[in-house]
Amino acid sequence: MHMHKYEKIWLFFGIGSLFVFLAVLGVGAFAQGTQPPSCLTTIDPEKVDQTPPFDKPGLVKTGDNEYQLNIVASAFAYTPNQVEIPKGAKVTINVATKDVIHGFQIAGTNVNMMVEPGYVSSYTQTFDKVGEYVILCNEYCGAGHHLMTAKVKVVE
């Protein structure tokens, strides 16, 4: 069976539109990467203090060696500002801001999130190395930006 010229054209068109589709998908995925990692969970920034789990921020055990760490960011502090995590713990970190955009980076780890008002930013990290880690804000948020730090202690 041989192909007619217009069949080839349509085949070419079909493959072409597949590539266009894939390119759009790729660009879409890339654009999403510039959003907070978890932009699906929304929160009223005015009511962070009353919204669980941020009404009781801190470390919560959720399973065998699994934890949730809920942190409230506000100008210019994190609540709580010191956390002890058992070595080897798998921790899902959730951060919400009460005011402006803040950053949430744990120096020396892969944890590096932008925290936008209205959204809960989440990241899961396993802490395998004992030590002290500094949490810092890497989004300029005002006069006290450089003072906005907290500490994570990974203990045996």
Positions in the binding site for ligand CUA (CB under 6 A)? 76, 102-103, 137, 139-141, 145, 148
Chain centroid offset of residue 128 CA: 20
**Among residues 91 and 141, whose Cβ is nearest to ligand CUA?**
141
Smallest distance from ligand CUA to CB 124, Å? 22
Distance CA 118, CA 43 (A): 5
- Nearer of residues 98 and 102 to ligand CUA, judged by Cβ: 102
CB of 132 to ligand CUA, least distance (A): 20
Residues 6+ apart with CB under 8 A from 2: none
Task: Between 17 and 81, name the residue whose CB sits nearer to ligand CUA.
Answer: 81
**3-class DSSP string for 75-111:** CCEEECCEEEEECCEEEEEEEEECCCCEEEEECCCCC
CB of 102 to ligand CUA, least distance (A): 4
